[in-house]
Amino acid sequence: MKTDATTQDERAVSSARQERAEAEFPADEKYEQVKRGDLHIAELQKMTMKELLALARREQITDYTGLKKQDLIFKILKERTKLNGLMFGEGTLEILPDGFGFLRSPDYHYLPCPDDIYVSPSQIRR
């Protein structure tokens, strides 16, 4: 025999599962949108400093004057990531003995460079 408390618990579990499923779908959709969109690091790296400065102005990014190219790219990506929650990068993952890694770029022959993307141990374990 089910009690009211049991029924309420079942509804809560069902509701939680539904919310989780709904939360996961937009993330997948957002991932595909970012993947198709303009968040590619490689595209920003190909731009000249003048183009990057114009992009920063268009996207209403503040405090970008005087930044080096790499720092400006990082700032643009950081602001875009705040808006979308995602960033898309490509390369080869090098996992170091300490458990973290870096996404290495073929543009630098997979050697360490300032463009490398840090990957935390928790992301690697996934």
The pLDDT-based confidence of 21 (bands split at 50, 70, 90) is very low
Are 47 and 28 members of one domain?
no
Asked if residue 48 and residue 25 are part of one domain, the reply reads no
Domain that holds residue 101: 90-126
Q: What is the CATH number of the domain that holds 120?
A: 2.40.50.140
* pLDDT tens readout for residues 57-87: 998 998 888 999 989 998 998 888 888 777 7
Q: Rounded CA gap, 51 and 53, in Å?
A: 5
Do 28 and 43 belong to one domain? Answer: no
For residue 117, give the 3-state DSSP assignment.
strand
Task: Please check whether residues 48 and 24 belong to one and the same domain.
Answer: no
Residues 94 and 70 in one domain: no
125 and 97 fall within a common domain? yes
- Per the DSSP assignment, residues forming a β-bridge with 103 are 93, 117
Looking at the predicted structure, is the pLDDT value of residue 49 above 90?
yes
Same domain, 72 and 109: no
Cβ-contact 42, 117 below 8 angstroms: no
CA 40 to CA 97: how far, in whole Å? 28
Q: Are 95 and 105 contained in the same domain? A: yes
Q: Kindly report the average pLDDT of the chain as a whole number.
A: 77
Q: What's the structural domain count of the chain?
A: 3
Domain co-membership, 47 together with 29: no
Q: Same domain for 24 and 57?
A: no
51 and 67 fall within a common domain: yes
Task: Tell me the whole-structure pTM to 2 decimals.
Answer: 0.55
